[in-house]
Amino acid sequence: MEYPIPFSRYQEHMREGRFVGVRCGACGSVLFPPRAVCPECGGRAFSETELKGEGIIRTFTVIRVPPEGRKAPYTIVMVELSEGPYVLGNLLGLNPEEVGMELIGKRVLMKPQPVAGDLLLRGEFLVPGFYLV
């Protein structure tokens, strides 16, 4: 068995500015981040699929007390992508002091955002960043 899209290749796609997930051959569900087993139907045959990066904010928070090594405040959003998957990412381009419940339901566009790892997870990573449309 070969893991469909390992984290390292997911990161390569992000570096190319692309978001690549997998589509379940059995039920058509799109999985992003990519996985090895479809949570909807148990399917394990996938084809790669590129996501448009469009979605809707379903919930959010502003982190004020950060983990060691990070600077607060910053906004985290949970977004439902237009292809179906939910994804966690950072809301950018908006002052965290100015966000509130009106965020929920707003349309966003996903762009790769660099973050630094730390002692516990070493490296440099790209994570989903979101901008209001």
Partner 1 sequence: MREVAVLGVAMNRFGVSQKTNLEMFTEVGLEAIERSGLEPKDIQALFLGCCLGAFEEGQAHIAPFAHSELGLPTGSPAVLMECACATATVSIRNAALLVAGGVYDFVLAGGTERATLMGTPLATRTFAMASHSYYESTVGITFPGVFALAAHMYAAKYGIGLPELKRHMAEVAVKNHKHALLNPKAHFQKEIDVETVLNSMMVADPLQLYDCCPFSDGAAAVVLARADRAKEFVKKPIYIIGMGQAACGALSLQRDLTVVKARVEAARQAYSQAGIGPEDLDVVELHDCFTIAEILAIEALGLYEFGKGYEAATKGETALGGKVPVNPSGGLKAKGHPIGATGAAQVVEIVEQLREEAGERQIPGAKIGLVDTLGGDFGTVCNIILRR
Q: 41 to 80, contacts with Zn ion by CB under 5 A? A: 41, 43
Backbone angles phi, psi at 71, to 5 degrees: -105, 130
Q: Which of residues 108-127 bind partner 1 (CB under 8 A)?
A: 115, 117-118, 120-121, 125, 127
| One-character DSSP codes across 24-60 | ETTT--EESS--SS-TTT----EEEEE---EEEEEEE
C-alpha–C-alpha distance, residues 64 and 71, integer Å: 9
Residue 60 contacts partner 1 per CB under 8 A: yes
By CB under 5 A, residue 104 contacts Zn ion = no
Would you tell me which residues interact with partner 1 (CB under 8 A)? 7, 33, 39, 58-70, 74, 76, 78, 80, 85-90, 99-101, 104-105, 115, 117-118, 120-121, 125, 127-128
